[in-house]
Structure 1
Amino acid sequence: MNSRFFEAMRGYFPDWYLPDIYWTDIVEIVIVAFLIYQIMVWIKNTKAWMLLKGILVLAVFILVAAILKMNTILWIARNSVSILATAAIVVFQPELRRALEKLGEKRFLTAIVPLDKGKESERFSSRTIDAIVEACFAMGKVKTGALIVVEQAIRLTEYESTGIYMDCIVSSQVLINIFEHNTPLHDGAIIVRENRIVSATCYLPLSDNMEISKELGTRHRAALGMSEVSDALIIAVSEETGYVSVAQGGQLVRNVTPEYLKESLIKIQTKNTEKKIAKLWKGRRKHEKETD
């Protein structure tokens, strides 16, 4: 059918060049276009965007040199390609690492064939959820800053090691006491794994997103940065406004209600080991819009 269609078109337009196109070519074009779009979106939201614009300016300068036949500049450009490639890898190293981490989060195999079927279905109990919600809004009322990282499938051992090791059950009293002003553990973030606080005063990566509001401080930028490199849910309590914010999947939702926070924790409470194939066809879960 494909060949007949193009033969008919060539009959109507004999001067036109019409290559044979198969369904695999269309799929390939769609995949390449999607990858290019994702790369451009990723670059735009990082400091690599400014570096890319600098590279484009340099490329235009070399093009002008080629048109005007400036042989010396062209010779320098040809012999600098390998050096520039190495320099680009060094300069873009944080962004490349973050992109590979995001790619590693796409667990295509386990989405189709659940490998953790024999494990417990819940990451943490309802008591832990109630304790986190109660503590966050109690601290918000008195404007005590807090940063809580709730771990999911990706282990946060790298960031856990930057803090002080702990091993205690999550409770609202413990959380409030940790983030109390002028206490040894109040600075930095805590990491919650299952029903326990495993580490405090942890350092988190700051987001490079250029679109972050200037009103947000280091705490919220760290929450957003952590959500960009892991699948964790991060809760930030503002020291200035007392607002509670939630970051997940590179999206930050500010000034949430207790009901919203509890619902967000319930969504990640159960491990998704059932109906994986059905969820895979439904596509990605939609990002929540920012609510102020």
Structure 2
Amino acid sequence: MSITDILDILIVSVLIYEIAKWIKNTRAWTLLKGIMLLVFVAMAAYVCQLHTISWLINNTMGVGVTAAIIVFQPELRNALEQLGRKNPIVNLFSSDESRDEKVGYTDRTLQEIVRATIEMSKVKTGALIVMEREVPLGEFERTGIPVDAKMSSQLLINIFEHNTPLHDGAVIVRNNRIVSATCYLPLSDSLEIEKELGTRHRAAVGISEVSDSVTIVVSEETGGISIAQGGRIYRGLTPQQLRDRLAVVKNDYSDGRKFRLWKGLNRNERKIRK
């Protein structure tokens, strides 16, 4: 084995590592799971001699790759921009992976969120709190202002206070910390959303359509509390109902970390959709 062979292996290893890390930190992981499912279906169709399914998959694969590039164009652009800004050697040997490690939400974090939500509901302070789960929200986090502060109800209330610099937009919560404020979220174009709901509620549904996040909304007009999850919004929640739903989210996250590699519906998720 020559020096060039070692260099070749090292370069390929770095590329594979960077691609894997990019997939982990973006919504591309969801796309990768879908591709793996299609590959499994294609193999099963080949083994079982399902010619029609094999023909459909073979003829749509090229179009699917093009569609994936179009859909994930923002992520690809950000990945190339980050590659141009950072030092690959320093980044390769850095030990800053603990920040990206997913941990379950603690009881204290949920209590602080519930306390802040109830207080803002009483005085009709509009709020939009996004709790990140398995799907990373880095692309939306970058649209806001970094906070990276320990979760507290006082800080949440102060962020959404009227006429403050950070009150407009969403707050993203990750690993029991407030990571960013004034974040822009995608608006849902679903026709099932009631016409009287405004931009804040549509943004909550929109982020729940592209991720598995749980978003808490406080209406500025009525003070009503809502939760958006899985592309649906649940309105008019009482403080106890809010606690119950967040408790289900906490238990569901813990169960998923232990027993599930593929994200799907389990008993707790079906319960929250009732």
Report TM bin, short chain. Answer: 0.5 to 0.7
Q: Residue 182 of structure 1: SS of its match in structure 2?
A: coil
* 1:134-173 mapped onto 2 (5 Å cutoff): 134-173=115-154
Aligned to 1:271: 254
Deviation, structure 1 residue 244: 0.6
Deviation, structure 1 residue 287: 6.5
Q: Residue 153 of structure 1: SS of its match in structure 2?
A: coil
Q: Is the 8 A contact 2:135 2:212 kept in 1?
A: yes
Q: Is the 8 A contact 1:143 1:241 kept in 2?
A: yes
The structure-2 alpha-carbon separation of the partners of 1:160 and 1:251, relative to structure 1 and needing over 3 Å to count, comes to same
Shifted more, 281-290 versus 175-184: the winner is: 281-290
1:183 aligns with 2:167: no
Q: Residue 241 of structure 1: SS of its match in structure 2?
A: coil
Deviation, structure 1 residue 276: 4.0
Size of the aligned set, in residue pairs, is 190
Q: Is the 8 A contact 2:102 2:175 kept in 1?
A: no
Aligned to 1:262: 243
Distance 1:263 1:284 in 2: 11
Distance 1:239 1:133 in 2: 17
Aligned to 1:285: 269
Distance 1:237 1:281 in 2: 27
Give the structure-1-normalised TM-score: 0.56
Tell me which of 103, 106, 113 is aligned to 1:125.
Answer: 106
Q: Is the 8 A contact 1:231 1:249 kept in 2?
A: yes
Distance 2:111 2:266 in 1: 30
Unpaired runs of at least 5, structure 2: 1-44, 54-62, 74-99
Distance 1:281 1:287 in 2: 10
Identity across matched positions, percent: 52
The superposition leaves residues 186-210 of structure 1 with CA deviations (integer Å, 9 ceiling, x where unpaired) of 0000000011100000000000101
The structure-2 alpha-carbon separation of the partners of 1:283 and 1:175, relative to structure 1 and needing over 3 Å to count, comes to closer
1:234 aligns with 2:218: no
Deviation, structure 1 residue 262: 1.6
Tell me which of 226, 230, 233 is aligned to 1:252.
Answer: 233
Distance 2:265 2:103 in 1: 24
Unpaired runs of at least 5, structure 1: 1-23, 33-84, 98-118
The structure-2 alpha-carbon separation of the partners of 1:284 and 1:242, relative to structure 1 and needing over 3 Å to count, comes to closer
Distance 1:157 1:176 in 2: 23
Q: Is the 8 A contact 1:121 1:271 kept in 2?
A: no
Query: Higher Cα Rg: structure 1 or 2?
Result: 1
The structure-2 alpha-carbon separation of the partners of 1:214 and 1:124, relative to structure 1 and needing over 3 Å to count, comes to same
Aligned to 1:221: 202
Q: Residue 149 of structure 1: SS of its match in structure 2?
A: strand
Q: Is the 8 A contact 2:166 2:182 kept in 1?
A: yes
Deviation, structure 1 residue 286: 2.4
User: Cα RMSD between the aligned structures?
Assistant: 3.7
Distance 2:265 2:229 in 1: 22
Deviation, structure 1 residue 263: 2.1
Deviation, structure 1 residue 227: 0.2
